[in-house]
A and B are shown apart, each in its own frame.
Chain A
Amino acid sequence: MKWDLNSNKMQKFTRHELEEFRRDLMLYAQARVGDKALAEDLVQEAFVRYFSRSGSEPVGSPKGYLIRTVYNLSIDHFRSKQIRLAAVASETDKPPDGETSPEQLISESQLQAKFDQAYTALPERQQQIFYMRRMEGHSTAQIASRFNLSRRMVQKYMAQIVLHFQRYLMDDSR
């Protein structure tokens, strides 16, 4: 099923269908806040807000409404810097059934070896940017400021970094 972002077709969709959108929303929420438990809370809150507005004006695009609600909640979270304690769940998410898992593509040890190889082969600046982002959690703005770059440039570097890793990780000849 495709969601039409620019129409009211989603008005016809059932609650179950809307729940199917949860997975995409989780993808976005996790990209925003980085933490799975917190992302789940934001997504849950977004759905609660959506379904509790039954008596209100119809939402033109439920999907857009949910995405923006998650976005606003993530902003609220960072503004308040509210940190909550929650259960630990450090296991990496498993891909949904029916998809090829990374484990099937390559063994864990091989994957890490390729990852290390790719990291070592990164140009110096990209290595520094990647380290600051992944290991130190710096935002794009912070990295841009540190390197005296524009945010857009940092994002371009990130894309180059991902592509670089992608070539190493997906290349069986290495």
Chain B
Amino acid sequence: MADQQLNVQVDRQVAEWIGLFESGDMTPEQFEEFLLWRDATPRHKTRFETVHALWCETRDYPLPKPRQVPGEAHSAAAGGRKLATRIAGALKTLFEPPCVIATSVVMTVLVLAVFIWGPLKAHQPEFLAGIAGQRTVTYVANRAETLKIVLDDGSRLHVKALSKVVVAYSGHERRVVMKRGEALFEVARDIRRPFRVFADKGVVEAVGTQFSVDIDDGRGLNVKLIKGVIKVSSLDQNNPFDRVLTRPGHNLMLRDSRDENNQPVWLVEETYFEDPALSVAWMDGRLIFRGITLEKAIDEINRYSHHTLVLADSSLAGIPIHASIDAGDWREALRAIEASVGIETKEISADLTYLYSRQSR
């Protein structure tokens, strides 16, 4: 009985110490006091290390947001009610960097938004009154160009050709909204301001991890985990979805659909990549195709070149392509395609080439 009481007492002390560690406020004197307490008896040391290890193990677990946090209504109002309301129900937080343990300062986010061909408004950043009442900056990359921008917090933004990104930082949040195309973020770590990427009907949030998020072809989300742990959430309150990804290379594709009762549902497809980092090779001026269709490959090639390749034969569209080429070098791309697919080409003009199937000619 006495031993049990002692255990209860030690557990209380352990909880107090871990609570103090958790607060981030521990002074040197308190830490020295802790060490004295911990080393006073083997029971203290063993119990603390067991509970602490377990506690840290839960660091990456997501938490649903409580219904109401004091002061939140004010923040939402100040921040712009309209968008906040739209996203409020679905916004989920990702993983915080571990108090203790986990770690990182750089996070990479790749967002491939709905791909829309057509003229873009501006090349230079434009300032808009905007998201949630914050000052926002819009970055637009035209065809055959990539923007590289260092943001206020030291994060680096790479905007892919034919892409548009809106950045809105505030004191409590670093928000990015993908409007079009693809972008990659090397995100500086800031424990007090989560980094959130809103794209299409989803949001991905993380601190201290590395992942990519694609919104592919306008049909839903395409999330690739490169490293760490992330949580993917739907912004559609009528079609909720939450999923935690933990395995590097995990590719989660969500497609907007309806069930037999005509209710919105997500169709989930999952695959695994051996090397998910290949998906961001465009940052280094390379395009690496590992079995994507010729149609999609040509979309990517055209993105980086002022010369346009056109599939004149629809039977070629679904052919898988394996190639590694320099972005912007459309002639090299054509040679790579010709090496694996039976095609003929015809250069219609200085900036236009058609691709035909050999059999159809």
Within 8 A of B (CB), among A1-46: 2-3, 5, 24, 27-28, 30-38
Whose C-beta in chain A lies nearest to the C-beta of B206? A90
- Cβ–Cβ < 8 Å partners of A89 in chain B: 102-104
Known: A67-B28, A84-B154, A93-B56. A158 touches B63 (CB 8 A): no
The listed residue with most B CB atoms (<10 A of its CB), out of A36, A88, A161, is A88
Complex contact A146–B208 (CB within 8 A): no
- Asked whether any CB of chain A lies closer than 8 Å to the CB of B42, the reply is no
**Stretch among B45-53, B129-137, B254-262, B329-337 lining the A interface:** B45-53
| B304 smallest CB distance to A (angstroms) | 26
From A33, A87, A140, contact of B104 by CB (8 A): A87
Complex contact B55–A165 (CB within 8 A): yes
- Asked whether any CB of chain B lies closer than 8 Å to the CB of A59, the reply is no
Complex contact B106–A166 (CB within 8 A): no
- A148 and B134 CA atoms in complex are apart in Å by 27
Complex contact B54–A88 (CB within 8 A): no
Interface range for B = 35 or more
- Asked whether any CB of chain B lies closer than 8 Å to the CB of A60, the reply is no
Known: A35-B208, A90-B228, A162-B55. A131 touches B66 (CB 8 A): yes
- Asked whether any CB of chain B lies closer than 8 Å to the CB of A160, the reply is yes
- Cβ–Cβ < 8 Å partners of B104 in chain A: 35-37, 86-90
Whose C-beta in chain A lies nearest to the C-beta of B156? A85
- Cβ–Cβ < 8 Å partners of A169 in chain B: 54-55, 58
- A interface majority secondary structure: helix
| A132 smallest CB distance to B (angstroms) | 6
- A64 and B27 CA atoms in complex are apart in Å by 11
Complex contact A140–B31 (CB within 8 A): no
- A115 and B58 CA atoms in complex are apart in Å by 7
- B interface majority secondary structure: loop
Within 8 A of A (CB), among B205-242: 207-210, 227-229
Known: A83-B188, A84-B188, A92-B101. A132 touches B23 (CB 8 A): no
- A87 and B106 CA atoms in complex are apart in Å by 6
- A3 and B38 CA atoms in complex are apart in Å by 12
Within 8 A of B (CB), among A81-117: 83-93, 95, 99-103, 105-106, 111-112, 115-116
- Asked whether any CB of chain A lies closer than 8 Å to the CB of B77, the reply is no
Complex contact A139–B105 (CB within 8 A): no
Complex contact A36–B102 (CB within 8 A): yes
Within 8 A of A (CB), among B228-277: 228-229
Complex contact B60–A67 (CB within 8 A): no
- A32 and B189 CA atoms in complex are apart in Å by 15
- Asked whether any CB of chain A lies closer than 8 Å to the CB of B16, the reply is yes
- Asked whether any CB of chain A lies closer than 8 Å to the CB of B299, the reply is no
- Asked whether any CB of chain A lies closer than 8 Å to the CB of B24, the reply is yes
- Asked whether any CB of chain A lies closer than 8 Å to the CB of B70, the reply is yes
Complex contact A140–B23 (CB within 8 A): yes
From B11, B24, B190, B208, contact of A88 by CB (8 A): B208
Within 8 A of A (CB), among B13-27: 14-16, 18-27
Within 8 A of B (CB), among A111-140: 111-112, 115-116, 119, 124, 127-128, 130-140
Known: A38-B105, A85-B106, A160-B15. A137 touches B154 (CB 8 A): no
- A134 and B53 CA atoms in complex are apart in Å by 16
Complex contact B53–A83 (CB within 8 A): no
- A91 and B33 CA atoms in complex are apart in Å by 30
- Asked whether any CB of chain A lies closer than 8 Å to the CB of B35, the reply is yes
- Cβ–Cβ < 8 Å partners of A49 in chain B: none
Complex contact A35–B103 (CB within 8 A): yes
The chain B residues found within 8 Å of chain A, CB to CB, are 11-12, 14-16, 18-28, 31-32, 35-36, 39, 49-51, 53-66, 68-71, 93, 96-108, 153-154, 156, 172, 186, 188-194, 207-210, 227-229
Q: Return 23 A-B CB contacts under 8 Å, by A number.
A: A24-B35, A31-B21, A31-B26, A34-B98, A34-B99, A35-B208, A36-B103, A67-B32, A84-B105, A90-B102, A90-B103, A90-B229, A92-B60, A105-B50, A115-B58, A131-B66, A135-B96, A136-B194, A137-B96, A139-B192, A163-B15, A166-B11, A169-B58
